[in-house]
Amino acid sequence: MPKFIGGLHLKENKLTRKKRTEEMPVPKRVILPLRQHIGAPCSPIVKEGDKVKVGQKIADSTDFVSAPIHSPVSGIVIGIVKAPHPTLKECEAILIESDKLMEKDDSTKKRENIETLSKEELRRIIREAGIVGLGGAAFPTHVKLTPPKEKKIDTVILNGAECEPYLTCDHRVMLEHPEKIIKGLQIITKILEPEYCYIGIEDNKENAIAILESKLQDMGLTDKIKVVRLKTRYPQGAEKNLIYSITKRVVPSNGGLPMDVGVVVQNVQTAKAIYDAVYEGKPLIERVITVTGAVKEQKNLLVKIGTPTKDIIEYCKGYTNAIGKIIFGGPMMGIAQKTNNVPIIKGSSGILVQAIVEPEEKETECIRCGRCIDVCPMLLMPTIIAKYSDNENYEKAEEYFALDCYECGCCAYVCPSKIPLVEKIRKAKEEITRKKKERSTK
Amino acid sequence: MEETIKEKRLITTQSPHIKDKATSRKIMYYVIIGLLPATIAGIYFFKTKALKVICTSVVAALLTEFVILKIRKQPENIKDGSALVTGLLLGLILSPSVPWWIAALGSIFAIAIAKHTFGGLGHNIFNPALAGRAFLVASWPALMTAWLNIDGTTSATPLGMLKLEGIKTSYYNLILGNTAGCIGETSAIAILIGAIFLLLTKIIDWRIPISYIGTVFIFSFIFKQDPIFHLFAGGLLLGAFFMATDYVTTPITKKGKLIFGFGCGILTIILRLFSSYPEGVMFSILLMNGATPLIDRFTKQKPFGYRKKEKKETIRKE
């Protein structure tokens, strides 16, 4: 079975793997930050007091690397204010109060004759629908589907690995909408015209593998699109490791991208969002997330983008114990939130509530055991980078390839001295990038 | 209605939010368990003398650590198990005939000088137990080379007997432990039981012991010696599995570990065959400890996808 070097076997805790996705009722109010993607933030095209309909574009940008934002509800814009944000301290956001009518905007309607659409038209539809990578990074999809001419793409991979513990949203979408995912993939292949097409799924999701393989058979696509069964290991879903496991190609370090080896990777939910946009005219206004951990009812939920966490927790009947953390994402790379007022944004894959644990283990001296080096999927030396970071010797930290770290957390997970390695490496990366910017602007 | 949770009531530490259950302390205690078979065998063969030596070395190590940590005002405490391991190891590499104050002084040197003057846990360059023993051998050579048979009569070690009198000890005696030597080094079986335990629990990496022992085996063969004899005689097994695998003083990279083991092997053979000392393990490991920072630097790992391209400008010191 294809696998990569390093990584960890983690307890899966896929508590919600059998729970059918529920649709959460429309929230009273949605908070839509103007920054929900990599690239330039959007500027609002509505103002306070405006009435909006479901699917209406409310913010856009003139930059290429950006994606517009749409209203997931019908109602009134009650303000454009600074609001809490899952990954930034806070961000300017459009607040919309829902009138519960869910009137659809005219731009959202089913489309006929998909086959006649050209590559450019498809890209435009994807852009106009505000689709970004739903695996978490939220990179504008139309940009990924417009690689520079010199980068010839011959392989497209759909990422159905979902290697983080607890999260099952991608799994459920694969089980419940296999045909839409495949049709979305076909749109991607129409645009990029690759030779090879894969859907990578970890082997702890046998039913998803089975259902996709059977759908591909029904649709007569088994020789064009191959489902690849991957060894369940964290972080199998990380782009570089996924590409290596499936194609044995190595994405260059220090700024290399999948397109440098002729590959484009998209998350399975992104593929479904592409289907929704092209076939149904639906922009990205909702997504499936997993709500799990210390909540009374754990669920896979279809939520409107912008739904506040409070409302979601209430829908899940509240917390089970005194809570310690509300994590957006999985336990390995997720971000612990400061308040429960924070909204779901396009890249949010789940809410993991962690009860308070007995006092966190104290950090002690590094004993040079080398476990961090053994598990790093990028073959780095985390303890060395962390030590240089502590001494503020960022030059040396860069020499030890700090910038190649994608913060998967494997090192800090295994460290017996409980050293917050990822935190220290992050600091080094920030400083190195900051100094680089300073020098390039001098 | 779900109330708004304000800041400061939620914990906002950085990812990852789950951690493995292993701790440094647990690792130390696993090492102690791994040393128990050799300890029990040593006490079984050498009786109360051995028990006295080990108890003294352990207590002295713990006391020294306690006092020094207080002086240094460090947050670490003796519960982390590192001083206990050092004390036990030192006891195991002493002859059962040494007076109690030798054991005590060895521990004090090991902890205070070899460990704490270099910065304490994680920062020492040399294996503290071996450094302690080297100090004792240099200062009290006669006392440190007085060996006992299991019946209490004085004797030379198998390596000593081979070098000075050409007498070969039988494999049976070597493996079981029916020979003279350091308290912990005589019974190969006991050492191997502990070693296999540590290998299976992944506490020690196989690279150093296998490359060390393999090198000794091959080179003793090349020099027309009996490789099996060299495997089981002296402190090779105890050294290869319990000293040369000490995390702090050995290379951190996989390649580095292989080089380290190879270096120890070569040095051990050279010292055993061509020097006037019958045994070479202690000095070999100490010398390779000194080379460890260099080995680490030379075996620096390249990241996944590393490409030799036009050197991207690194940030320069302002």
Query: Is the pLDDT assigned to residue B135 strictly greater than 90?
Result: yes
Selecting from A252, A323, A367 the residue whose C-beta is nearest the C-beta of B121 gives: A367
Dihedral sign, Cα of residue A410, residue A371, residue A429, residue A261: negative
Task: State CA B216 to chain mean position distance.
Answer: 17
Task: State CA A311 to chain mean position distance.
Answer: 22
pLDDT at residue B3, as a whole number: 61
Selecting from A318, A378, A418 the residue whose C-beta is nearest the C-beta of B19 gives: A418
Q: Do A365 and B2 touch (CB under 8 A)?
A: no
| Chain A contact set for B121 (CB, 8 A) | 364-365, 367
Distance CA A407, CA B16 (A): 9
- Say if CB A180 and CB A275 are below 8 A apart: yes
At B91-120, the pLDDT tens digits run 999 999 999 999 999 999 999 999 999 999
How would residue A240 be classed by pLDDT, with cut points 50, 70 and 90? very high
How would residue B313 be classed by pLDDT, with cut points 50, 70 and 90? very low
pLDDT at residue B156, as a whole number: 85
Which of A100, A67, A31, A23 lies closest to A277 in space, CA to CA? A67
Other C-beta atoms closer than 10 Å to the C-beta of A410 total 27
Q: Do B16 and A422 touch (CB under 8 A)?
A: yes
Q: Do A370 and B205 touch (CB under 8 A)?
A: yes
| Chain A contact set for B22 (CB, 8 A) | 414, 416
Query: Is the pLDDT assigned to residue B314 strictly greater than 70?
Result: no
- Say if CB B236 and CB B216 are below 8 A apart: yes
Query: Is the pLDDT assigned to residue B312 strictly greater than 90?
Result: no
Q: Which residue of B has its CA nearest to A241?
A: B304
How would residue B317 be classed by pLDDT, with cut points 50, 70 and 90? very low
Distance CA A290, CA A299 (A): 6
Distance CA A263, CA A284 (A): 24
What's A114-280's CATH class? alpha beta
Query: Is the pLDDT assigned to residue B318 strictly greater than 50?
Result: no
Architecture of domain B24-298: Orthogonal Bundle (1.10)
Distance CA B180, CA A312 (A): 73
Phi, psi for A27 (deg, rounded to 5):
-75, 160
Selecting from A10, A381, A436 the residue whose C-beta is nearest the C-beta of B315 gives: A436
Q: Which residues touch B43 (CB under 8 Å, ≥6 apart)?
A: B50, B51, B54, B183
% chain B with pLDDT above 70: 94
At B81-98, the pLDDT tens digits run 999 999 999 999 999 999
At A281-331, the pLDDT tens digits run 999 999 999 999 999 999 999 999 999 999 999 999 999 988 889 999 999
Q: Which residue of A has its CA nearest to B13?
A: A336
* B59: closest CA of chain A, how far (Å): 23
Query: Is the pLDDT assigned to residue A18 strictly greater than 90?
Result: yes
The answer, for A292 touching chain B at a CB cutoff of 8 Å, is no
% chain A with pLDDT above 70: 99
How would residue B190 be classed by pLDDT, with cut points 50, 70 and 90? very high
At A20-78, the pLDDT tens digits run 999 999 999 999 999 999 999 999 999 999 999 999 999 999 999 999 999 999 999 99
Query: Is the pLDDT assigned to residue A442 strictly greater than 80?
Result: no
pTM of the full predicted structure?
Answer: 0.92
| Chain B contact set for A335 (CB, 8 A) | 15
Q: Which residue of A has its CA nearest to B245?
A: A369
Distance CA B59, CA B54 (A): 9
Q: Do A338 and B15 touch (CB under 8 A)?
A: no
Domain boundaries, chain B: 24-298
| Chain A contact set for B245 (CB, 8 A) | none
Selecting from A323, A327, A381 the residue whose C-beta is nearest the C-beta of B17 gives: A327
% chain B with pLDDT above 90: 72
| Chain B contact set for A413 (CB, 8 A) | 16, 18-20
pLDDT at residue B315, as a whole number: 45
Q: Which residues touch A132 (CB under 8 Å, ≥6 apart)?
A: A36, A37, A38, A67, A138, A139, A140, A141, A270, A284, A346, A347
* B42: closest CA of chain A, how far (Å): 28
Q: Which residues touch A356 (CB under 8 Å, ≥6 apart)?
A: A321, A322, A323, A324, B11
At A101-152, the pLDDT tens digits run 888 888 888 888 888 999 999 999 999 999 999 999 899 999 999 999 999 9
pLDDT at residue A120, as a whole number: 95
* A403: closest CA of chain B, how far (Å): 10
How would residue B199 be classed by pLDDT, with cut points 50, 70 and 90? very high
| Chain B contact set for A400 (CB, 8 A) | 300
- Classified as helix, coil or strand, A335 is strand
Task: State CA B134 to chain mean position distance.
Answer: 13
The answer, for B185 touching chain A at a CB cutoff of 8 Å, is no
The answer, for B201 touching chain A at a CB cutoff of 8 Å, is no
At A401-441, the pLDDT tens digits run 999 999 999 999 999 999 999 999 999 999 999 999 998 88
Q: For A11-49, b where at least 16 C-beta lie within 10 A, e where not — what string?
A: ebbbebbebebbebebbebbbbbbbbbbbbbbebebeee
Q: Do B17 and A336 touch (CB under 8 A)?
A: yes
ipTM (interface pTM)? 0.92
Distance CA A139, CA A406 (A): 15
pLDDT at residue B80, as a whole number: 87
C-alpha dist (Å) from residue A181 to A131, A266, A422, B41: 14, 11, 34, 65
* A16: closest CA of chain B, how far (Å): 19
Q: Do A381 and B10 touch (CB under 8 A)?
A: no
- Classified as helix, coil or strand, A125 is helix
Distance CA B296, CA B293 (A): 5
Higher pLDDT, B149 or B242: B242
Q: Which residue of A has its CA nearest to B77?
A: A364
DSSP letter string over A130-165? T-B-TTTT--BHHHHTS--TTS---EEEEEE---SS
- Say if CB B184 and CB B238 are below 8 A apart: yes
Max CA-CA distance within chain B? Answer: 90
Higher pLDDT, A416 or B170: A416
pLDDT at residue A2, as a whole number: 64
Distance CA A114, CA B40 (A): 79
Q: Which residues touch A218 (CB under 8 Å, ≥6 apart)?
A: none
* A356: closest CA of chain B, how far (Å): 9
Token readout for A300 is 């896979």
At B37-74, the pLDDT tens digits run 999 999 999 989 999 999 999 999 999 999 999 999 88
Amino acid at B49: K
| Chain B contact set for A383 (CB, 8 A) | 252
Higher pLDDT, A370 or B159: A370
Higher pLDDT, B199 or B175: B199
Selecting from A253, A313, A399 the residue whose C-beta is nearest the C-beta of B307 gives: A253
Q: Do A367 and B307 touch (CB under 8 A)?
A: no
Query: Is the pLDDT assigned to residue B6 strictly greater than 80?
Result: no
| Chain A contact set for B122 (CB, 8 A) | 365-368
Distance CA B177, CA B187 (A): 4
pLDDT at residue B309, as a whole number: 61
* B43: closest CA of chain A, how far (Å): 30
